[in-house]
Chain A
Amino acid sequence: EVQLLESGGGLVQPGGSLRLSCATSGFTLKNYGMSWVRQAPGKGLEWVAGLRGSDPTTYYADSVKGRFTISRDNSKNTLDLQMNSLRADDTAIYYCAKAGAEWEHYFDLWGQGTLVTVSS
């Protein structure tokens, strides 16, 4: 079964760091583009970061550029998001999302999400 399962969310103080992970199964991770998309409480969807399937090219939203790093471990079938210098407005559910192909595709599979709360 094709599946995504996020972990690593929690409560962190402003200025702190957190590392999210997305365990993938049922498909070959290196063949697909992957992204992180977040949703602040009661708000809409915001794409955060992504990487291509076939090469290490990464992309970031301006709101997280320089603070967040997306990476992938093909041997472990995991997608990670390292989040540094966290701010209150980073509070959200973070979803891992799989592209339909290498990159220029829609998100055909989403995980259940992991909640990140940035607060003192």
Chain B
Amino acid sequence: GESVGLHLPTLSVQEGDNSIINCAYSNSASDYFIWYKQESGKGPQFIIDIRSNMDKRQGQRVTVLLNKTVKHLSLQIAATQPGDSAVYFCAERGGSYIPTFGRGTSLIVHP
């Protein structure tokens, strides 16, 4: 597959561990946040979203936490599996409905 980026922050974890991927956003007016997963050679895939009136949202094995005070977003993946290896992007929307994407974090899961 094709690499998404050569200079991304990287998080390496062991299979079965919990992973936490962090994202700082810039626009205090942003009202909606999305996490995407991008596997090598594929397009971004929606994982989970959260609105600004919430501080936590849970999905299947994933939890997103939002701290508006410090403009910080995190994605927690429980019991990380090798199939979770990918680049993870956060995206924010504020003012316009077009999301602004962060640079991404590369997650590497070791079996």
A and B held together in a complex: no
Residues of chain B at the chain A interface (Cβ within 8 Å): none
Residues of chain A at the chain B interface (Cβ within 8 Å): none
